[in-house]
Amino acid sequence: MAVIDPRSGSVIETVMNPIRPRVFQCLHRTSVLLRRGSSQDVTAAESRSVQPVLLVSRLYQPSNLRDMGPDTQGEMTCKSQRLMQQAGLIHPSNPGCYYYLPAMVRSMEKLMRVIDQEMLMIGGQKLDMPSLCSAELWKTSQRWDLMGKELLRLKDRHQRDYCLAPTHEEAVTTLVAHQTSPSYRQLPLLLYQITRKFRDELKPKFGLLRGREFYMKDMYSFDASEESAYQTYESVCEAYARLFNRLGLRCVQVQADTGNIGGKLSHEFQLPAEIGEDRFLVCGSCSFSANVETVLSDRSGCPQCKTGTLVESKGIEVGHTFYLGKKYSRVFNATFSNAQGKPVVAEMGCYGLGVTRIAAAAIEVMSTKEEIRWPGLIAPYQVCVLPPKKGSKQDKAAVLAEELLRTLGETLPGLRGEVVLDDRTQMTIGKRLKDASKLGYPYVVVVGNGALEEIPIFEVICQQTGETMFLSKDGLLDLLGRVESI
């Protein structure tokens, strides 16, 4: 292939194989493409079947504990924040704002994919709305004043007022209201997005648990009648329950206050945790559960069954659902024509999930004091392979580590990009194991003594369960083949 100078039109370089330089470059960067015979060209099909191996020595995950402290971060602090900064998952910028570093982005993108799957299952359609919202929009709903100091306000060059959206009821309702001749046949309509939200929190704290800039999934539903709106509300609550189940988080759905969002019915999804800022009550005898804010009278007896006792727990609010009725649709005139062709004002619901808060809350409740544990599905990487220390008795097994990675690439396409190789072979296996344990890879594979036996044996540590297994290559492939990776 010839490279032509666009100005002169003359050939400036002749490249025999356009792919090779890229592969060569990779060898010197974060990932290495492992394949048979490095002198061969990589065809597109081949590159799909090889496993990009991520080298721990090149991964950008700078530990930044020294930057923690009340001076930069407001109120301090909690286990998840400490662990996340220690592991180089996040880096503080200004109070309530963080850099999300590469491993964290991998985890959040996975979480977003799980959310997308669950929203798709209930008919959700993803869109993306502007974060910059005009004051007029917020004045129409009267929330420009009601939101007070939490609303981050700014002016453009024409001195017009705007806010950075903390939520999007106004924006989505005006969007839907602009559609010409919408029909009841389109309903229920469920629109959602996963975007950054901005709230000038009085006390940003606990790392990603209470930020001023954070990711939220917010969904808005439009229905033709109150009855179908309640059904939609139910189906979203069920989707939330499925989502938390898949993540292995034991959330409790509790009755909640509607706050400044307004509406008639509301539930929070609370993850029980000592540092949780909410308190909720659960009845020991019936299904009653509620945020303490909603139980004004005697908090010892259950208001539903009258016999059960209420147990109070602290929780982190990871999700919130609201049945809004016509509160916003009436103001913005979001109507649909019914079967008789008459316009009816839509019945609405809105449903939030704190994406960054869920990731941090999971780390908060699953981790030990020093070691991160993830919901398997959203761990940044699924597998870490530890080859032996250079110059050690087991050094001969290093080729087996490479071979293993190649086989993983060829036989388990579901794990592509999920395997890291801790190539810091100047360090002992013990030291690297400790690091792997701190980062919480669900599976750590040690290529050590056992790998030198006639039938090589690999030590596999399942960090989620704490189990250690000694497996042949086939056994290991069988185990890793069952890992759910998204």
Residues that bind Mg ion (CB under 5 A): 320
To ligand ATP, the closest distance from the beta carbon of 317 in angstroms equals 4
> Is the Cβ of residue 320 or residue 357 nearer to Mg ion in the bound state?
320
Q: In the bound complex, which residue of the shown chain has the CB atom lying closest to Mg ion?
A: 320
Q: 210-236 burial by CB neighbour count: b if 16+ within 10 A, else e?
A: bbbbbbbbbbbbbbbeeeebbebbebb
With CB under 5 to 8 Å by kind, the binding choice for 207 among Mg ion, ligand ATP, none is none
Least Cβ distance, residue 215 to ligand ATP (angstroms): 8
Closer CB to Mg ion, 323 or 458, in the complex: 323
Q: Smallest distance from the beta carbon of 78 to ligand ATP, in angstroms?
A: 13
Q: Closer CB to Mg ion, residue 85 or residue 291? A: 291
459 and 468 Cβ atoms separated by less than 8 Å: yes
Q: Decide: residue 180, CB within 10 A, 0-12 exposed, 13-18 middle, 19+ buried.
A: exposed
Q: Which residues bind ligand ATP (CB under 6 A)?
A: 167, 199, 201, 210-211, 214, 216, 259, 317-320, 352, 354, 356-357
Q: Which helix H or strand E contains 221, and what residues bound it?
A: strand 213-223
CB 460 within 8 A of CB 445: yes
Radius of gyration of the chain (CA): 27
CB under 5 to 8 A by kind: which of Mg ion, ligand ATP, none does 216 bind? ligand ATP
Shortest spacing between CB 217 and ligand ATP, in angstroms: 8
Structure tokens at 399: 């080729």
- Residue 318: which of Mg ion, ligand ATP, none does it interact with, CB under 5 to 8 A by kind? ligand ATP
Longest CA–CA separation in the chain, Å:
89
Residues 436/446, Cβ–Cβ less than 8 Å: no
> Residue 378: which of ligand ATP, Mg ion, none does it interact with, CB under 5 to 8 A by kind?
none
- 201's contact among ligand ATP, Mg ion, none, with CB below 5 to 8 A by partner kind, is ligand ATP
**Number of residue whose CB is nearest ligand ATP:** 354
Minimum CB separation from ligand ATP for residue 273, in Å? 13
Terminal C-alpha separation, the chain = 37
Could you count the other beta carbons within 10 Å of the beta carbon of residue 397? Answer: 23
- Three-state SS for 398-457 is HHHHHHHHHHHHHHCHHHCCCEEECCCCCCCHHHHHHHHHHHCCCEEEECCHHHHCCCCE
| Residue whose CB is less far from ligand ATP, 144 or 441 | 144
Closest distance of CB 380 from ligand ATP, Å: 20
Nearer to Mg ion (CB atom), residue 182 or residue 319: 319
Q: Is 69 left (phi over 0), alpha (psi -120 to 50) or beta?
A: left
Residue 357 partner contact from Mg ion, ligand ATP, none using kind-dependent CB cut-offs of 5 to 8 Å: ligand ATP
CB 316 within 8 Å of CB 277: yes
Q: In the complex, what is the shortest distance from the CB of residue 95 to ligand ATP, in angstroms, rounded to a whole number? A: 11
Indicate which of ligand ATP, Mg ion, none lies near residue 356 (CB less than 5 to 8 Å, by partner kind): ligand ATP
Which of 145/467 has CB closer to ligand ATP?
Answer: 145
Distance of alpha carbon 77 from alpha carbon 79, whole angstroms? 7
CB of 321 to ligand ATP, least distance (A): 9
Hey, what are 142's tokens? 């009267």
Instruction: Sheet containing 132-134: give its strands across.
Output: 132-134, 161-164, 152-155
Task: Return the one option of ligand ATP, Mg ion, none that residue 188 interacts with (CB less than 5 to 8 A, by type).
Answer: none
Q: Which does 418 bind (CB under 5 to 8 A by kind): ligand ATP, Mg ion, none?
A: none
CB nearer to ligand ATP: give 137 or 350.
350
Q: Closer to ligand ATP by CB, 184 or 351: give it.
A: 351
317 vs 459 by CB, closer to ligand ATP? 317
The distance of closest approach from Cβ of residue 483 to Mg ion in the complex, given in angstroms and rounded to an integer, is: 34
d(C-alpha 46, C-alpha 87), whole Å: 34
